[in-house]
Amino acid sequence: MIATQGKINQLLTESGCEHNQHSQKKNNKSCRQQAQPGAAQGGCAFDGAMIALVPITDAAHLVHGPIACSGNSWGSRGSLSSGSSLYKMGFTTDLTENDIIFGGEKRLYKAILEIADKYNPKAVFVYATCVTALIGDDIDAICKIAAKKTGLPVIPVNSAGFVGSKNLGNRIGGEALLDHVVGTAEPAYTTSYDINLIGEYNIAGEIWNILPLFDKLGIRVLAKITGDARYQEVACAHRAKLNIMICSKALINMGRKMEEKYNIPYIEGSFYGVEDVNQCLRNTAEKLGNINLQWRTEKLIAEETAALDVALAPYRDRLKGKRVVVYTGGVKSWSIVSAAKDLGMEVTATSTKKSTEEDKARIQQLLGGNGITLEKGNPEEILRIIKETNADMLIAGGRNQYTALKARIPFLDINQERHHRYAGYVGMIEMARELDEALHSPVWEQIRKSAPWKVKEK
């Protein structure tokens, strides 16, 4: 994908995105938001593109830019692989001042050849950065030459950080897959029940909680885009019969364009919370259009939920009525609320950042009339909400754990840095266990006590 202004505008006004559908001005603020200099980590288009593509485990991911750019946030994300670990290696052209002055194209070409020779990847993804975009390095041309020389797919990803936000970067990564990968290979065979999971990154290995459910139903996951993915399966993704958008916003352009080009319908779903897992399985079976499959799905749901009710009973007794504040983004804003309510907990407030209009409506419905929604929050605001709602716990990303500690309440990490699987029926048991352990740890009784020098002598 050559990052022309027209192409960027097309991604910013993606018709499949709920923000654009509901905005009269067609102005998707979450994608148009520019990363601020000095505070761009985790928020620029480059980071978003890497988030979307790096989980392709048997490919090499080469960052064309100064070495600091290769220190993106993916290193702290918990995406796991059942096979190759090549995706975890950090490749960079490590541009110097001389390269910036005279151009870095020769250095890029040499780096691709070296990676191909030493590591024999299935493909090489080359990421442009702010510096290489500004000096005008033509990574598209270099990738073509290197692909011809090595015999490997070499995919340019024009993801200069300054073009926009992380959300836009996700879509740029999706465009790279659509332009250079999807449809370039054929699967050994196809079935009437082939599906793709799009926007699932196998955080903490969560996809391994989901795949057995589809296996029991006779549904084959043809491609995972991109958690624990192999390059070949993504190349064959165009033969699926249905796309399931897990993170509805991140790669919505892939869902819409694959429907237009390959006639593959897409649905949105979540695997957090009992009701959401049930509904996603039902919607999948219904969309695939087989009565026997729908019957098998209802039978599986009945079996799984019955077993889950037994496993969750002791946790529900201990968690019932506990008040929590949820501060996360995207689809998790409502799906984690749903999961907490399944456990009998009361969610007093949640964030709506990176949520679609449909997500926000669902959040408000789940919270009820007294629930508080936060579009943006800082530690001071979160602490105020915790105090105002008398919350017992904060569920958020890792960067907010210190906010919870300041409030002297338990904390559960729900974002990409975590090491526990919360998806699917098995994930609900794990989430309940983690919530219970955090809430009932004896340490809270200790830290809530007044300091010895503040206790008046009797």
Residues 207-254: pLDDT tens digits? 999 999 999 999 999 999 999 999 999 999 999 999 999 866 779 999
pLDDT reading at 65 higher than 80: yes
pLDDT of residue 72: 55
What span, in angstroms and rounded, lies between the C-alpha atoms of 357 and 361? 6
pLDDT reading at 360 higher than 80: no
Q: What is the CATH number of domain 194-299?
A: 3.40.50.12380
Question: pLDDT grade, residue 21 (50/70/90)?
Answer: very low
pLDDT of residue 38: 46
Question: pLDDT grade, residue 43 (50/70/90)?
Answer: confident
Kindly give, in sequence order, each residue whose CB lies less than 8 Å from that of residue 366, ignoring residues fewer than 6 positions away.
334, 337, 338, 341, 347
pLDDT of residue 405: 87
Question: pLDDT grade, residue 351 (50/70/90)?
Answer: confident
Task: Dig out the tokens for 326 from the structure.
Answer: 């949820």
pLDDT reading at 59 higher than 90: yes
Same fold, 194-299 and 313-446: yes
pLDDT reading at 46 higher than 60: yes
Kindly give, in sequence order, each residue whose CB lies less than 8 Å from that of residue 9, ignoring residues fewer than 6 positions away.
none
Give mean pLDDT, residues 122-147: 96
Number of H helices, E strands in the chain: 20, 13
Mean pLDDT of the chain: 86
Query: 119 vs 353, which has greater pLDDT?
Result: 119
pLDDT reading at 324 higher than 80: yes
pLDDT of residue 326: 87
pLDDT of residue 341: 85
What span, in angstroms and rounded, lies between the C-alpha atoms of 202 and 329? 17
pLDDT of residue 447: 84
Q: What is the CATH number of domain 313-446?
A: 3.40.50.12380
pLDDT reading at 36 higher than 70: no
pLDDT reading at 420 higher than 50: yes
Q: Cβ(397)–Cβ(414) under 8 Å? A: yes
Q: How much is the pTM?
A: 0.87
Write the DSSP assignment of 249-288 as a string of letters: TTTHHHHHHHHHHH---EEE---SSHHHHHHHHHHHHHHH
pLDDT reading at 450 higher than 90: no
Q: What b/e readout covers 96-112, taking b as 16+ CB neighbours within 10 angstroms? A: eeebbeebbbebbbebb
Domains in the chain: boundaries: 5-180, 194-299, 313-446
pLDDT of residue 235: 98
What span, in angstroms and rounded, lies between the C-alpha atoms of 355 and 233? 29
**pLDDT above 90 covers what percent of the chain?**
58
Q: What is the CATH number of domain 5-180?
A: 3.40.50.1980
